[in-house]
Amino acid sequence: MTSCLANRIQYPDDGRVIILPGDPSFDWTLTCPPPNWRQAAAKDPDGFAFVVEPGSGLVRVATATDLEEYLYGGEYDERLDEIDEAEDGLEWDG
């Protein structure tokens, strides 16, 4: 895997290479694993997980210890609150 951005994003002709909020690829870019995820995952023989940081929405690699801190230290609850708020803003027209 070279980069998940390389396959999905076509940069505009004006040379911009930054993706800002409102750009069609912005949300997808946030969910892309970081480029160094394999090295970070290899540091812990007990396994790893991808977690989403509250506030920024960026995905990061968490070792087993980091995952416990994420789950029981309040970050997971913050993220759930963010997701719930986002879903409250959606209306179903079905």
List per-residue pLDDT tens for the chain, 94 residues long.
445 544 555 555 666 667 777 777 777 777 778 788 888 888 888 888 889 888 888 888 888 889 999 999 999 999 999 888 666 655 555 4
- 42, with CB counted inside 10 A (0-12, 13-18, 19+), is exposed
Q: Which residues contact 78 (CB under 8 A, 6 or more apart)?
A: 54, 55
**CA-based nearest residue to 66, from 90, 47, 83, 82:** 47
Separation between Cα atoms, residue 32 and residue 28, nearest integer Å: 7
Predicted model pTM: 0.61
User: What backbone phi and psi angles, to 5 degrees, belong to 36?
Assistant: -95, 25
